[in-house]
Amino acid sequence: MTFQRARTDEQRAQRRRQILDVAAAMLTEMPVSRLSLNELSRRVGLAKANVLRYFESREAVLLDLLDAEVADWTAELERASLPDQGNALQRGDRLADLLATSMAQRPVLCDLFSAQGSVLEQNISTEVGIRHKRAARQSMQALTGLALRQLPELGTAGAASLIETTLLTAMAAWQCSRPSEAMLAVYASDPELAAMRVDFTDVVRRSAAVAAYGLLARHPASAEIPS
């Protein structure tokens, strides 16, 4: 890939997009922890110093990529058609399944999510952090709206709590569901030990469903929840 120096805002935006595209492709081959600025620069075809003209750090690249991945995932969820019939528990189960299965189909998103606090939000400027949090707030509002449409009994605060709980669970579950080669051998050695292996989709689905149940039970509008 050969670049000429970007001189206009449009050209600079294109360069940023190309760098992000290369980083996204790299994350289909390796985890966040292995993506280095040196290797990213090599694959993009720019000197490391030139990549830093567009992004202040490796973490800034990954944070922008996370924001793009979340926005794309959110748009996909908004296009999804969930049946609105059934009681609140049934609708909550369907929402939990949609959130869990759609995330499982996006390993790059999950890997970025799992590294958000410990890696991506480090080594960045306040300006980058503000831009990221504004994008995250917009996505959170859209996800909360999705939950509220499926479970209006929750109210806005309850829907936001459900999404927050689901995302935090997914961050932890993703790391735990990616065993090392040594742990894979452990699981293969004994069926009782294999039962301890974390299934990402199952954990997120169950956690989201349980969170929805609990939030519904605490809400006065949820009279249909059995005691």
Express each pLDDT in 101-131 by its tens digit: 999 999 999 999 999 988 999 999 999 999 9
What CATH number did the domain enclosing 145 receive? Answer: 1.10.357.10
Q: Tokens at residue 127, please?
A: 């300006």
Residue 226 falls within a domain, yes or no? no
Mean pLDDT, the chain, rounded, equals: 91
Half-sphere exposure in the Cβ direction for 201 (13 Å, CA): 9
What pTM was estimated for this model as a whole?
0.86
Last residue of a domain, one of 55, 70, 100: 55
Residue 223 falls within a domain, yes or no? no
Co-location of 147 and 112 in the same domain: yes
Q: How far apart are CA 133 and CA 76, in angstroms?
A: 21
Q: Determine how many CB atoms are found less than 10 A away from the CB of residue 194.
A: 12
Q: Per residue in 192-217, pLDDT tens?
A: 999 999 999 999 999 999 999 999 99
**Do residues 165 and 177 make contact, with C-beta atoms less than 8 angstroms apart?**
no
Confidence of residue 219 (pLDDT cuts 50, 70, 90): confident
Q: Per residue in 67-109, pLDDT tens?
A: 999 999 999 999 987 887 889 999 999 999 999 999 999 999 9
CA dihedral angle for residue 111, residue 67, residue 96, residue 204, rounded to 10 degrees: 20
Is the confidence at residue 3, as pLDDT, over 90?
no
Co-location of 70 and 87 in the same domain: yes
Co-location of 40 and 77 in the same domain: no
Count of the separate structural domains present in the chain: 2
Co-location of 8 and 92 in the same domain: no
Co-location of 122 and 43 in the same domain: no
Co-location of 16 and 69 in the same domain: no
Residue 224 falls within a domain, yes or no? no
Co-location of 28 and 64 in the same domain: no
Residue 189 falls within a domain, yes or no? yes
Specify the pLDDT at position 1: 45
Co-location of 103 and 28 in the same domain: no
Q: Which residues contact 48 (CB under 8 A, 6 or more apart)?
A: 37, 38, 41
Of 14, 127, 120, nearest to 70 by C-alpha is 120
Co-location of 67 and 158 in the same domain: yes
What CATH number did the domain enclosing 40 receive? Answer: 1.10.10
Question: What is the extent of the structural domain holding 73?
Answer: 59-218
Confidence of residue 225 (pLDDT cuts 50, 70, 90): low
Co-location of 95 and 120 in the same domain: yes
